[in-house]
Structure 1
Amino acid sequence: MRLLLWLVALMAAAIGIAVTARFNPGNVVFFYPPHRIDLSLNLFVVLAVLLFLLVYGLVRAVRATLGMPKQVAAYRFRKREREANRGLRDALKALFEGRFGHAEKAAMRAAELPENAGLAALIGARAAHRMREPARRDAWLAGIVHDTNLKTARLMTVTELLVDEHKPEAALEAVAELNASGQRHIHALQWAMKANQQARNWPEVLRLVRTLDKRNALHPALSARLREMAYESLLSEGGMDAESVRRMWAGVPATDRLQPAIAARAATAFNARGLHDEARLIVEDALKAGWDERVVRAYRDAAGPEGSPTLLAQIEKCEAWLRAHPNDAELALTLGSLCLRQKLWGKAQRYLEGALSDAVDSALVRETHLKLAQLHEALGQQEEANRHYRLCALADLV
Structure 2
Amino acid sequence: MLFAALAVMLSSVALTLLLREENGYFLLGYGVWTVEGSLALFVLSVLLLFLLGYGLVRGLSNLLAVPASLRDWRSQRQIQRARSSLTKGLIALAEGNWQAAEKELLRHAEQSDMPMINYLASARVAQEQGAEERRDQYLRLAHESMPAADLAVGLIQAELHIRHQQMEQALATLNHLHNLAPKHQQVLKMLAQVLQELKDWDALVELLPTLRKQKTLASGELYALEVRLQVHLLNQAAAKGGEGPLRHVWENMSRTLQRQPELVGLYARLQIGTGRCEEMEQLLRESLEQEWDEGLIELYGQLGSDEPLKLLTQAEHWLQQRPRDPALLLALGRLALRGRLWGKARTYLEACIGVSESPAAYRELGALLEGLEEPQAASACYRKGLELSTSGKSPTLLLTEDRGQMTDDRGQGSED
Same fold (TM over 0.5): yes
2:363 aligned partner: 370
Indicate yes or no: 2:323 matched with 1:333: no
The answer as to whether partners of 1:87 and 1:110 remain within 8 angstroms in 2 is: yes
Alignment of 1:10-159 (within 5 A): 14=13, 16-20=15-19, 23-28=22-27, 39-84=37-82, 104-105=102-103, 107-108=105-106, 111-113=109-111, 116-145=114-143, 147-159=146-158
CA distance in 2, matches of 1:239, 1:319: 32
* Partner-residue secondary structure (3-state), 2:304: coil
Amino acid at match of 1:390: A
Mean CA deviation greater in 58-67 or 242-251: 242-251
CA distance in 1, matches of 2:168, 2:93: 27
Amino acid at match of 2:50: F
The answer as to whether partners of 1:159 and 1:171 remain within 8 angstroms in 2 is: yes
2:412 aligned partner: none
CA distance in 2, matches of 1:195, 1:328: 40
Indicate yes or no: 2:392 matched with 1:397: no
Alignment of 1:1-398 (within 5 A): 14=13, 16-20=15-19, 23-28=22-27, 39-84=37-82, 104-105=102-103, 107-108=105-106, 111-113=109-111, 116-145=114-143, 147-205=146-204, 212=211, 218-219=217-218, 222-223=221-222, 225-227=224-226, 229-230=228-229, 240-243=239-242, 245-271=246-272, 275-277=276-278, 279-304=280-305, 308-309=306-307, 311-360=308-357, 364=358, 366-378=359-371, 381-382=372-373, 384-397=374-387
CA distance in 2, matches of 1:93, 1:206: 43
TM-aligned CA distance change 1:236 to 1:165, over 3 Å: farther
Mean CA deviation greater in 73-82 or 87-96: 87-96
C-alpha displacement at 1:293, in angstroms?
A: 0.9
CA distance in 1, matches of 2:203, 2:159: 18
The answer as to whether partners of 1:369 and 1:389 remain within 8 angstroms in 2 is: no
TM-aligned CA distance change 1:12 to 1:42, over 3 Å: closer
The answer as to whether partners of 1:84 and 1:116 remain within 8 angstroms in 2 is: no
CA distance in 2, matches of 1:239, 1:111: 58
Amino acid at match of 2:177: L
CA distance in 1, matches of 2:136, 2:180: 22
Percent identical among aligned pairs is 26
* Partner-residue secondary structure (3-state), 2:58: helix
CA distance in 2, matches of 1:314, 1:180: 55
Mean CA deviation greater in 74-83 or 285-294: 74-83
TM-score (norm 2): 0.75
C-alpha displacement at 1:286, in angstroms?
A: 2.5
CA distance in 2, matches of 1:38, 1:233: 110
CA distance in 1, matches of 2:157, 2:30: 87
CA distance in 1, matches of 2:15, 2:156: 76
Query: Which consecutive unaligned segments of at least 5 residues does structure 2 have?
Result: 389-416
The answer as to whether partners of 2:19 and 2:40 remain within 8 angstroms in 1 is: no
Query: Which consecutive unaligned segments of at least 5 residues does structure 1 have?
Result: 1-5
Mean CA deviation greater in 173-182 or 104-113: 104-113
**Alpha-carbon deviations, 1:125-169, whole Å to 9, x = none?**
234324433222211221244655212212222222222221222
TM-aligned CA distance change 1:161 to 1:89, over 3 Å: same
Mean CA deviation greater in 317-326 or 64-73: 64-73
* Partner-residue secondary structure (3-state), 1:67: helix
The answer as to whether partners of 2:265 and 2:295 remain within 8 angstroms in 1 is: yes
CA distance in 1, matches of 2:70, 2:300: 86
CA distance in 2, matches of 1:198, 1:163: 10
C-alpha displacement at 1:208, in angstroms?
A: 5.3
TM-aligned CA distance change 1:371 to 1:12, over 3 Å: closer
CA distance in 2, matches of 1:176, 1:215: 17
